[in-house]
Chains A and B, each alone.
Chain A
Amino acid sequence: MKTVVVTSGKGGVGKTTTSASICTGLALRGFKTAVIDFDVGLRNLDLIMGCERRVVYDLINVVNKEANLHQALIKDKHCDNLFVLPASQTRDKDALTEEGVEEVLKGLEHQGFDYVVCDSPAGIERGAVLALTFADEAIVVTNPEVSSIRDSDRILGILQSKSRRAKEGREPVKEHLLVSRYSPKRVEEGEMLSYKDVQELLRVPLIGVIPESEIVLQASNQGTPAIHLTGSDVAEAYLDVVARFLGEERELRFVSYEKPSLLKRIFGGA
């Protein structure tokens, strides 16, 4: 079993959006996958996954042994081999312990899961540290702006020092950079850092670039991970990310801005 943390330091950069699409993408590839919401207090992964009405038990119930994994895991509405472990809305943050999380992960491994995706809360405090503690791989979601890059840099440092792999001196957590909310047009106009700048500053292998698109909002309103909106640039970009995550080569798409052609400018429309 592989544990993958989706993290960022900064809030609102697209971690939950990314977690939902990546766990779905892995499940679509046939892997038995679980996604855990570590954002204790702010339930939102279940909304994005569209399973909020079926939440009975949550991560903390399992940690406290008030429910077993089997009871708490919610089967995804699209994929048979995908399960959601929601966060608690009410309990206080300290209810989550390192030992508790370790138990839960062991339980998932025992049940034959191939991948566990951990949706980290923002920040660099306890919750974010717990989400990355047991990671084998990390997807660091970064928006092309200075504050997000700086926070990603911080979280990369924490990954190096606080993860189990680091503490036990094992092979370090494999790091991936995902640049999200990318607007090639604004990059072209010099209003946004390019993904190359971001990568140059963070020096982590790039796993993909997700364009800024209203599709994401549409998907979240429907309670459907964006990767399901086939044909949209966001869905395609996430499919590429999953392929690269699995070791396949994919060329970067949706990173260059094509000026509307003269015909388009004259006659408008698509």
Chain B
Amino acid sequence: MQGSRNATKAIEFKSGTFSATTAIIRDTNAMHLADAMHALLGGRPDFFAGEPAILDFSQLQKLPERVDWPGLTSLLRRYRLQPVVVRHLPESLADSARKAGLAVLHGDESLKTVAPPPAPQTKAAPVEPPAAAPAPSIPSTPKGSMLLDRPLRSGQQVYARGADLVIIGGVSNGAEVIADGSIHCYGPLRGRAIAGAVGDNSARIFTTALGAELVSIAGVFRTFEKGLPEAVAGKPAQIRLVNEANTQQIRLDPLVLS
């Protein structure tokens, strides 16, 4: 049986990591979730790009008797998010999750998540082992910067891992820029901009002409279906996180370039 080495390789297993979005689910009622997602994402069906998702139940508000898994997964899929794994799920619900085709992770089984797009939530809770006490900020010191000297077009995505991102030429609608540090965009910023992607809440976003569909800093994000505030729309702007009434909020300010 020699010489057919490749023929026997119909499948091969390798270990590896992949990037995923973490959805922290605090309420399992599908109706409540549908409302919350609509409010956050404006009913945009293509908000996520078919990314795999980890459903995290570490912050469940109350233990439900059962969970409507088909309802939950199809709701997430409607926004093109593909749930694959659940974690920190109360034991009583684990069996039903497995039956629904989801992998069940317990405790601190570490899942390396890289390049996390914003999780649907309003509080700063970036992807991090939830076992740790809610740290106010992950001390991440971005090293250096990544330079992109062409416009980023619809459907393209760039991730500056552990760095700031500098873009010359602008970001189109439907494109996505992600940085662990800050984002500096010379040219119109029209797509999605995600700064402080692993939790640096001092990261900022700068642009010479703001037209973003979404901005996010350290997991706190804001969308603009109803348009941007007039003071910053199409103008130089700075975006950062501020503490207001004990919650972290995205703040948009005009940037005066004299």
> Which residues on A are within 8 Å of B, measured CB to CB?
150, 153-154, 156-157, 160-161, 172, 201, 203
Contacts of B59 in A (CB 8 A): none
Shortest CB distance B213–A (Å): 13
State whether the Cβ of B142 lies closer than 8 Å to any Cβ in chain A: no
Interface centre among B153, B155, B173, B188 (most CB of A within 10 A): B153
| CA distance in complex: A80, B177 (Å) | 50
List B148-181 residues whose CB lies under 8 Å from chain A: 150-156, 169-170, 172-175
Interface centre among A150, A153, A160, A172 (most CB of B within 10 A): A153
In the complex, which residue of chain A has the Cβ closest to the Cβ of B172?
A: A153
State whether the Cβ of B254 lies closer than 8 Å to any Cβ in chain A: no
| CA distance in complex: A270, B223 (Å) | 52
Contacts of A157 in B (CB 8 A): 152-156, 172, 175
State whether the Cβ of B187 lies closer than 8 Å to any Cβ in chain A: yes
Inter-subunit contact A154/B154 (CB<8 Å): yes
Inter-subunit contact A154/B153 (CB<8 Å): yes
In the complex, which residue of chain A has the Cβ closest to the Cβ of B170?
A: A203
| CA distance in complex: A251, B172 (Å) | 28
| CA distance in complex: A160, B175 (Å) | 14
Inter-subunit contact A153/B154 (CB<8 Å): yes
Shortest CB distance B185–A (Å): 13
| CA distance in complex: A139, B173 (Å) | 21
Q: What are 15 A-to-B residue pairs whose CB atoms are below 8 Å? A: A150-B154, A150-B173, A153-B154, A153-B173, A154-B154, A154-B155, A154-B174, A156-B153, A157-B152, A157-B154, A157-B172, A157-B175, A172-B150, A201-B173, A203-B187
In the complex, which residue of chain A has the Cβ closest to the Cβ of B187?
A: A203
| CA distance in complex: A161, B156 (Å) | 10
| CA distance in complex: A122, B156 (Å) | 19
- Range of interface residues on chain B? 10 to 19
| CA distance in complex: A131, B187 (Å) | 29
Q: 19 more A-B contacts (CB under 8 A) besides A150-B154, A153-B153, A157-B156?
A: A150-B173, A153-B154, A153-B173, A153-B174, A154-B153, A154-B154, A154-B155, A154-B174, A157-B154, A157-B172, A157-B175, A160-B150, A161-B156, A172-B150, A201-B172, A201-B173, A203-B151, A203-B169, A203-B187
| CA distance in complex: A156, B152 (Å) | 9
| CA distance in complex: A51, B170 (Å) | 43
In the complex, which residue of chain B has the Cβ closest to the Cβ of A150?
A: B154
The 3 nearest A-B residue pairs measured at CB: A157-B153, A153-B154, A157-B156
Shortest CB distance A204–B (Å): 9
| CA distance in complex: A172, B188 (Å) | 21
Shortest CB distance A175–B (Å): 10
Contacts of A161 in B (CB 8 A): 156
In the complex, which residue of chain B has the Cβ closest to the Cβ of A204?
A: B151
Shortest CB distance A46–B (Å): 32
| CA distance in complex: A203, B170 (Å) | 9
Contacts of A203 in B (CB 8 A): 151, 169-170, 187-188
Contacts of B169 in A (CB 8 A): 203
| CA distance in complex: A203, B190 (Å) | 12
Contacts of A156 in B (CB 8 A): 151, 153
List B94-126 residues whose CB lies under 8 Å from chain A: none
| CA distance in complex: A203, B155 (Å) | 16
Shortest CB distance B148–A (Å): 10
Contacts of B174 in A (CB 8 A): 150, 153-154
List B10-26 residues whose CB lies under 8 Å from chain A: none
In the complex, which residue of chain B has the Cβ closest to the Cβ of A159?
A: B153
Shortest CB distance B233–A (Å): 14
Shortest CB distance A106–B (Å): 28
Contacts of B151 in A (CB 8 A): 156, 203
| CA distance in complex: A214, B22 (Å) | 54
Contacts of A172 in B (CB 8 A): 150
Contacts of B170 in A (CB 8 A): 203
| CA distance in complex: A150, B153 (Å) | 9
| CA distance in complex: A160, B154 (Å) | 12
| CA distance in complex: A119, B87 (Å) | 51
| CA distance in complex: A165, B153 (Å) | 17
| CA distance in complex: A172, B150 (Å) | 10
Contacts of A160 in B (CB 8 A): 150, 153, 156
